[in-house]
Chain A
Amino acid sequence: MAKVGRIYRVVRVEGAGLVKRRILDLGLLPGLEIKVVRKAPLGDPIEIVAKGNPISIRKAEAEKIILEEVKG
C-alpha cells in the first residue's frame, strides 16, 4: 500500500470499465510519477498529485494503479 509523502511510478492500470478509463483519461499512465499527498481525515479517499494537479481517489480505486516506489 502506498504511503503518504512518498513518490511512486505508475507501472500499469488494472481493472475495467469507467474506473480504469477515468484513471487513464486523467493521464495516470505507465511511467508517470505521482506523489501521495494526504489521506482524508477519515482515512479514505486519498489525495495524489501528478504533475502538480491534485486528484482525489478512493483507496479501492487507487489499488487498481500498480505502482513502484521511486528511490529518492
Chain B
Amino acid sequence: MARESRRVKIALAGIPNVGKSLIFNRLTGGRAWVGNWPGVTVEKKVGTLRVNGAEIEVVDLPGIYSLTAYSVDELIARNFIVEEKPDVVVCIVSAINLERSLYLALSLLELGANVVIDLNMVDLAEKEGYKIDYKKLEFLIGVPVVPTVATTGRGIGKLKETIVKAIHEKKVQARIVDYGRIVEEAISKIEEVIKDLAPELAEKYPARWIALKLLEGDSDIVGKVSKLPAGKEIIDKANQLREILGKKIGDPESYIVKQKYERVLEIVKAVVERVAVPRVSMTDLLDSVLTHKIVGIPLALSAIYLLFRFAFEVSVPLADLVDVAINSYLHDIVLGIHGLPDWLTSFLADGVIAGVGAVLIFLPIIAFFFLGFAILEDVGYMARVAFLVDKVFHKFNLPGKAVIPLIIGFGCNVPGVMAARAIEDENERKTTALIAPLASCNARLPVYLVIGGAVLGASAGFAVLSLYVLGIILALIVGLLLRKTLFKGASSGFIMELPPYMMPRFDNVAIKTWERTKRFLFKAGTVIFLGTVIVWLLSVTGPEGYLGPEALEDPQLLRESWAGILGQLLASTVFSLMGWDWRAAVALFFGFVAKEIVVSSMAILYGVGEEKIVDVIAERHVFTPLTAYAYMAFVLIYVPCIATLAMVRNELGLKYAILALIYEVLLAYIVSLSIISIGSVLGFR
C-alpha cells in the first residue's frame, strides 16, 4: 500500500428534519470543522469518525429532498458524490417520514453511490403505531439498513460497524427503479449513445443516470454534455426521444418522478406493519391553536417576548456576578499589584480587564437567549413562525424563513448573519444576510436602557420597544430594495414541510445553543476585547503624548486625548445637526467596534462609574428627549459591530461587507436626522 493513500471519506445525506446533525455529532463526537462549499454560502461541516483505530472523514451534505439542478443544495450534494466519490453515503431515513426519505435514498442509489441506510427515529414510529421491517427493507433495496434512535444513541455502534464494513464491500444499485417499458427503452438508447460517443462521461457518472437526467431536461447535465465534442449528437438524440416520449406519457419529468415514487410506495407497503391505531395527531391539535386565524400571531409575539424575558431574568444574577468578579474583584487585584509602572497597571485594569468584562457580562443573556430559541426551534415552533409571517415577508420579496435570522439576530447579529444559510434561494439568502444586522441585538439594549432611562422617563419602555420594531421594518425595506436592485430574481417560493411537534431533545438543544453562543464568544468577543483596549489607548494618549490614567477620571484632561479631539470634531461637523454632546459622539465612534462598549465608554467619558451613568446623563441634560431618541435610533442602525461586518465578509465577500457598512451608516444618519427634523416640526423637544 502506498503510504499516501487517500483518506477514507463518507458523506451524510438526508431530507430536512431527520436528525442528521445529531447523527453527525454521534459519529464524530461533535467536533467539526465548519466552512463553506466552494463558491456558495452553504455551510459545509466536516468531522472525523474514529473506529477501531481508523480515521474516517465525515462530510455533512445539505438537507435535501432530491438531486436536481434546480437548487444549489441539491447540486452541491450530487456534485460532491460524483466528483469526490465518497466511499460510503449514509442516507438518514426518517421512520416517521418514510416515503420522502426513501425517495431521496433511491435517488442516491441511482447516482451510483455506495449507500448505507440509517433508519432513524424508529422509537417515534413505534409510538405512532407502526413498525418497519428493516431486514425486508434491506432485502428490497439491496444495501445495508441500520435502525437507530439518534436522541438516545441506540444503534449508533451498529451504524459505525456497518459503515466500516460497507467501505470494503461496495454495493451499487443504480437500477433500483424500473421506469416501465417505454421510458426504459429510451434510457437504453441514450445509454448506448453515451457509451459510444462519450465514454469519459460514462466513467464519471452512471450512463443510466445521465440518460435519465437528459430525459428530465436537467439544465446542469444538458450543459455538461453540450460541452463535449460529441455533445450535440447526444443532446439531439435525447431531445428526439423526449419528444416521442412526450406524446406517449406527457411531461417526461413528471412521469419519471411518479414512477420513482411508485417504486417507493411499493417498498413502503411491503415493509411497514401497522401494529396499533394511530393516536390523535398532536401536531394538528397544536397547529389549530398556534397557527390560528386570530390568536396565532399574538401567540407568536408573546412567545418572542417571553424568550426575551426568560433570557433577561435568568441571566441578571449571573451577569451581576461576572460584573463583580471582573470589574471589582479582578480590577482591584490588578490595582493592588505594587511595582508595576503606572501605564501598565492602567492598561491591565482599564484596558484588558474592562475588555474581558465587556464580553463576559453579555455572555449569560446571549447564551440563555439562544437556549430558549433552540428549544422553540427543536420543538418545531420556528417553522410555524415562518408560516405565520410569510405573507408579510413575501410583500418584501423575501421568504417567511428570513424571520429566523432576524430573531437570532435579536440575540447576537453574528450568528444571525450566519443563519441566513438556511435559505435556499441564493438571492434571498444574500439579501437576508445583509439585513440581519438591523435586528436589535442584546448589546444595543443597555444603550437604550441607559439613555432612555435617563431622559425619556415613563415612555422609555415604549421607546425601546419601538426601536425593535423599527429595526425589523427597516430590515424589510432594505430587503425589498436589495431584491429590486442587486439581488433580483423570482421568489423561491415557500413550499416547506411543517415538521411534527416534538419534545425538545437535550443534545440537539445543547449543540445549537453552544454553536451560536460560541460565535458570540469567539468571533464577536475577540473584536470587542481588542476594541476596548483601543478605546483605552485613544483615551490616555493625545497629540501631546501619554496623558496618564488620570485622563479617564478627569474630563478636562480627556478633552486633550485623541478620543476627545475626535469627538469634538464629530460633534461640530457631521453630527452638528443632531445636537449631541461630543462625549456621546465619541461613544458612537467607539461603538463602531461593538455596541458593548458604548455605555462603558460613556462612563469613562463622563468620568463616572457605569452604575452612575444614568444619573449623570439625566442631571447634566446631555440629551433632550428628541435628541436622545435620535441617538438611540442611530445606535440601532449603524454597524452593530466589526465582528458582524467580518461575518458578512465571510459569507458574501468583502464587496458586500463594504456595502453593509455604507448602507448602515447612511441609513442611521438619514433616520436620526429625520427623527430630529420631523420631531421638531411636530413640536417635540
Contact = CB atoms under 8 A, between A and B. Distances in A.
Interface string A36-59: 011111111101010111111110
Contacts of A20: 253
B390 A58 contact: yes
A36 to B, nearest CB: 13
A55 B497 contact: yes
B392 interface: yes
Contact of B497 (A17, A26, A38, A61): A26
Contact of A44 (B250, B258, B394, B492): B394
Contacts of B292: 41
Interface in B269-295: 281, 283-284, 287-288, 291-294
A19 B493 contact: yes
Contact of A25 (B66, B250, B494): B66
A14 to B, nearest CB: 9
Nearest to B262: A29
B511 to A, nearest CB: 26
Contact of A52 (B254, B281, B494): B281
A26 B65 contact: yes
Given A21-B253, A27-B100, A39 B495 contact: no
A38 B522 CA distance: 44
Interface residues of A, number: 36
A56 B103 contact: no
Contact of A45 (B100, B250, B390): B390
A42 B258 CA distance: 33
A12 B253 CA distance: 12
B497 A40 contact: no
Given A41-B297, A54-B497, A21 B261 contact: no
Interface in B477-499: 492-498
B198 to A, nearest CB: 26
A44 B364 CA distance: 38
A47 B390 contact: no
A54 B287 contact: yes
A13 interface: yes
Contacts of A41: 291-294, 296-297, 388
Contacts of A47: 287, 291, 387, 498
Contact of B496 (A12, A29, A55): A55
A70 interface: no
A71 interface: no
A17 to B, nearest CB: 6
Contact of A61 (B70, B283, B383, B494): B494
B494 A56 contact: yes
Nearest to A32: B261
Contacts of A40: 291, 296, 387-388, 390-391
A51 B288 CA distance: 18
Contacts of B495: 19, 22-23, 26, 55-58, 61
A56 B387 contact: yes
Contacts of B152: none
B498 A55 contact: yes
Contact of A38 (B257, B283, B288): B288
Given A40-B387, A41-B296, A51-B99, A58 B288 contact: no
Given A24-B257, A27-B100, A29-B258, A44 B391 contact: yes
A38 B292 CA distance: 9
A1 interface: no
A42 B296 CA distance: 10
A26 B103 CA distance: 9
Nearest to A51: B99
Contact of A53 (B71, B258, B261, B497): B497
B165 to A, nearest CB: 31
Contacts of A25: 65-66, 68, 100, 103, 257
A24 to B, nearest CB: 4
B97 interface: yes
A55 B288 CA distance: 14
B493 A22 contact: yes
15 contacts: A18-B68, A21-B66, A22-B70, A25-B100, A29-B254, A40-B387, A41-B293, A44-B391, A47-B287, A47-B387, A52-B281, A53-B97, A56-B387, A56-B496, A57-B496
Given A38-B291, A56-B496, A57-B495, 15 more contacts: A22-B65, A24-B253, A25-B66, A27-B103, A29-B257, A29-B261, A30-B254, A42-B297, A42-B388, A43-B391, A55-B496, A56-B387, A56-B494, A57-B493, A58-B394
Q: Which 10 A-B pairs have the closest CB atoms?
A: A18-B70, A42-B391, A25-B66, A54-B498, A24-B257, A44-B391, A41-B296, A25-B65, A58-B494, A22-B495
